[in-house]
Structure 1
């Protein structure tokens, strides 16, 4: 009798294992720089991300891969991108590291966590398959539901209009945002279809539906915003909040960010340089146009933060916030590409010149040919960004502001291309609040972290017996608790741009034929003082280390051309 009593009491006071497992939410933004959110020095208000940071952690030396699809492949699999088959973009370059398809020799976080009892959800940008116009179910083999997710709402392709995104998909079927019975204006946060809102609204919906239907299980959710990737599209109500904010100009905004970053402790004045923005990047003749681009960019980030706030509220409302591990990070640095910036544009016409599109029309183009209501797309200087009939990027000068105080941009593996915020929030998982974490990390660590905290077992084989490559990352859970992380090195390669970091020493090269440069990031985080001539022995050692990685991780041949 006494034994039975204690067994009953143990069962009452000890929750089942499933209830102890945390939910895991990874939130990824698109084409944003290290200093673009408030808690990392920005003038753009991001109160919801700031709140998560205040009651969690901010990493100051976390890294991505420098480009959108390699980052997504790496985040999802815990491998370096070439090992996952996506060393470049969605094109097959004739080698296993460059197939443009997520490999079957890897598993996604969703595939790894489902056997541990997790439900799995995704909202947003997928971008790890060439099959964006599938004809058969076989073509969807690398779509989210076929790679471990129970529910999906988002885009299969990598970029597009925020008002009329192409490849918009619910679960396994394309859907028009204007003929969707499951997401109508009444469901929309602003009553108007805007992709950033749609991603956040569906993520919030998944949280609530999970609580109602599967509340006895933990969940994993991947939320991949397309903000603030070009085209610069935003709702007028959000743009209005930022009008005039950038009147002071590129350098003044960048100087203010630099000082705030120092005041916040994110960087140090003695190991960074706020070097000048290239004069040829500044739009002195078209300043009103270019400051509008940054106002819209700010509005896009503002809108995303609002959506993250709604997601957090859904967790609070369902009692799930405290035991949910939330990580926010970015896929690459600020984007200096010249999308939509060439030539001269102009104001919108007084009336549409093209027929309106039917509600059930499925947008086939990354950049639409027209807006839904019949206005042709406008690009070039003088076309004020924001509305659905514009297609413009914010350019190199503003990307320099985004990447304060680092060198280079998206595509490259100098610090400006690969440095990302990492905001971590998990009240039940660790007791640190508002701390800065200086341990270097990489998004390959997110798989290892999810496997660790979930109690999942990373598989040796999967996909009908296919051998699975071992994880490359390290769990960040000890770091959350203030413990050290043991790591040999972190590696990069994209489009011939190469790097390896060991401790504080970083070897980096720009372009397949560019010379190797060597930096001590502990005293030179902005990569201004090349030590390669002073330390030839260390340079040689790190070159050999990078070469060994490249040979084992499907990186070679370096930057092959498209086989077509």
Structure 2
């Protein structure tokens, strides 16, 4: 009798959650994928069975624009000599010692997970800007495969022909949820009333997603977050639960954490494993408002804006702490995998240590600072702790998670991502792959060249000036570049200066060009780049077509 009462309770909870928009598609614990012969034609496939019982929970955890040196990931980022005489935006200027201290204090919880997991010291995202980078995480495919080379290509939505990995989890009985930044849809911005507008554009629009690109149509049972590139820290008009606009409640990091905890609790009630894409907004600009005191009081760098920045990072860390506490209370923690990265490198509009001892910033795929991010994996007691120093991509996250869940990847998907599981568990040694390749704009919007814009932007937002600064360095005004990296060298080419460079992979400041010394390696990596290009699509946005042709002509 108790068994049937429990089943009736679960059914009632499921119906209530579905009616309330919390679970658009609820799967049973045991999902059987099989075919039955009938007098009707059916697909030619091998029947399989799958049980989600005991399978691991998956958390893909991202932050927005956090630099390699802005958390305690790699001690080399904190070498004072590498930080001297660095150009910095006026509002973020602080002493080097204060900057290092703040970065080291920003993520104690994440540091604990890194120390107990595997750091990927040569971990790279697949693009230098948010939309394409996030698309690559969720498809496990290079964005160039489907014509996405810049945010301009992504702005009309990631092609519907692409399979998002949560679809596979959902089809195998997982409860799937996306919380936070989406930025993968065709969008429409609707202004809020004028009396509620400010000079921070995040406050001024409600950003809607077209139906085809809604997260619920890309494999997620539940969505809470925003569709735009950024969000206001308080009072955002752009938050949604599924398709319904909702009010902001307090500081955005806290609201996203509350939602993530809700996902874990709903998974517990439904007796299903969960797959959560948790995409925090921090520390995306602007950082002109303070965090709640519990986060803000931890930092005293001498710059209120730098304090705001690191307080926002700390808010994520403490949110993860609360989520871990919930998972432990629910008995879910020991069977949960966490995969972490920033979506791209730091913006110059931020505090030291920025990208640590690396050249380059967000938007620059030929410089390590744009795509070499802090990246790690944690799974309690199941990994070989320490560092893995071979090439890893954020595209590897979902294949690794699928491997852990014993979900087969359809061969028709042609993924660029590879499972890291054999390497992080010690079953295999050596390299996951021979090389990684990138192509897209080399953008100065977020680097030292654009400091005058950022200095004046802060003045405008703070009403210290009435003139919005001119930005001569947008993505659309930037020429294309390419990069291909193997486990020893990086070959880079920027059409802007038409310079070909070969650098040792550990030459993070790109100080010694080895192209003339190692012509065979140049030839080998050029061949890898040509092979990569042969499997790409032309840019979706016409503004990028000529730039794409320029790079193609150079390679050929």
Same fold (TM over 0.5): yes
Alignment of 1:169-248 (within 5 A): 169-177=240-248, 193-212=250-269, 214-215=270-271, 217-232=272-287, 233-238=289-294, 240-245=296-301, 247=302
Alignment of 1:390-401 (within 5 A): 393-394=349-350, 398=351, 401=353
Coordinate RMSD, CA, aligned? 2.6
Q: What is the distance in 2 between the residues matched to 1:243 and 1:452?
A: 41
Contact 1:446 1:473 in 2 (8 A): yes
Q: What is the distance in 1 between the residues matched to 2:185 and 2:147?
A: 10
Match of 1:51 among 102, 108, 112: 112
414-423 or 68-77, larger mean C-alpha shift: 414-423
Change (3 A) 1:99 1:239: closer
Counterpart in the other structure of 1:140: 211
1:131 Cα offset (Å):
2.3
Structure 2: runs of 5 or more not aligned? 1-49, 76-102, 191-205, 442-479, 547-556
> Structure 1 residue 537 and structure 2 residue 517: aligned?
no
Q: What is the distance in 2 between the residues matched to 1:319 and 1:116?
A: 22
Change (3 A) 1:143 1:511: farther
Match of 2:321 among 280, 300, 309: 309
Counterpart in the other structure of 2:378: 425
Change (3 A) 1:131 1:312: same
Counterpart in the other structure of 1:158: 229
SS for the counterpart of 2:59 is: strand
Counterpart in the other structure of 2:72: 38
1:439 Cα offset (Å):
2.1
Q: What is the distance in 2 between the residues matched to 1:138 and 1:73?
A: 15
Contact 2:174 2:275 in 1 (8 A): yes
Counterpart in the other structure of 1:502: 486
Counterpart in the other structure of 2:346: 334
Counterpart in the other structure of 1:493: 439
Contact 1:63 1:442 in 2 (8 A): yes
Please report the TM-score for the alignment, with normalisation by the length of structure 2.
Answer: 0.69
Match of 2:389 among 413, 417, 438: 438
Q: What is the distance in 1 between the residues matched to 2:340 and 2:189?
A: 30
Q: What is the distance in 2 between the residues matched to 1:203 and 1:153?
A: 9
Change (3 A) 1:490 1:562: closer
Contact 1:408 1:417 in 2 (8 A): yes
Contact 1:326 1:426 in 2 (8 A): yes
Q: What is the distance in 2 between the residues matched to 1:210 and 1:335?
A: 36
Counterpart in the other structure of 2:356: 404
SS for the counterpart of 1:38 is: coil
Give the helix-richer structure, 1 or 2.
Answer: 2
Contact 1:500 1:506 in 2 (8 A): yes
Q: What is the distance in 1 between the residues matched to 2:489 and 2:73?
A: 27
Change (3 A) 1:133 1:558: closer
> Structure 1 residue 26 and structure 2 residue 81: aligned?
no
> Structure 1 residue 470 and structure 2 residue 414: aligned?
yes
Contact 1:78 1:448 in 2 (8 A): yes
Structure scoring higher RCO (CA < 8 A, sep ≥ 6) equals 1
1:428 Cα offset (Å):
4.8
Match of 1:168 among 219, 224, 239: 239
108-117 or 482-491, larger mean C-alpha shift: 482-491
> Structure 1 residue 481 and structure 2 residue 515: aligned?
no
Q: Please give the per-residue CA displacement for 1:217-256, whole angstroms capped at 9, x wherever unaligned.
A: 21110000110000114324156424433x4xxxxxxxxx
Q: What is the distance in 2 between the residues matched to 1:557 and 1:520?
A: 33
SS for the counterpart of 2:437 is: strand
Contact 2:62 2:342 in 1 (8 A): yes
SS for the counterpart of 2:408 is: coil
Contact 2:485 2:505 in 1 (8 A): no
Match of 1:119 among 149, 152, 175: 175
- Aligned pairs, number: 412
